């Protein structure tokens, strides 16, 4: 099976862990973008992504609401990481990138 290119936006997390979040999951084909605060480009970046990872404990309620609304409106897979640790965010990236590559894409995998 050929890997398709997937753009994943991580919203929240810790800035100092950014290089570790960006390490692509096994199989490659995953491009990671990250936003750590609510910014004017957040909605546009979320709309451009194929999949979204939300670290809700590390982002404002407003930013989390924007991301959830984009996921619902566009049918973009969304996974909530339960914390900002590298292992949790990487696991969420791997899960949501698989969902984005599957033919039957759920509108949201958000658990939070």
pLDDT for 72: 97
Residues in the chain, pLDDT under 70: 1-3, 24-27, 103-112
Predicted pLDDT of residue 4: 77
CATH numeric code, 6-101 = 3.40.50.720
Return the pLDDT at 5.
Answer: 86
**pTM recorded for the entire structure:** 0.85
Supply the pLDDT for residue 56: 87
CA 30/CA 37 separation, integer angstroms? 22
What pLDDT is recorded for position 2?
Answer: 42
- Distance CA(46)–CA(69), nearest Å, equals 10
Burial 66-87 (b: 16+ CB within 10 A, else e): bbbebbeeeebbbbbbeebeee
């Amino acid at each position: 099976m050929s890997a398709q290119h997937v753009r994943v936006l991580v919203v929240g997390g810790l800035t100092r862990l950014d290089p570790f979040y960006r390490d692509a999951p096994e199989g490659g084909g995953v491009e990671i973008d990250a936003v750590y605060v609510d910014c004017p480009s957040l909605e546009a970046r979320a709309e451009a992504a194929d999949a979204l990872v939300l670290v809700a404990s590390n982002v404002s309620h407003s930013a989390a609401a924007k991301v959830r609304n984009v996921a619902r409106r566009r049918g973009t897979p969304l996974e909530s990481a339960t914390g900002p640790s590298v292992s949790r965010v990487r696991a969420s990236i791997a899960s949501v990138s698989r969902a984005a590559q599957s033919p039957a894409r759920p509108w949201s995998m958000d658990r939070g």
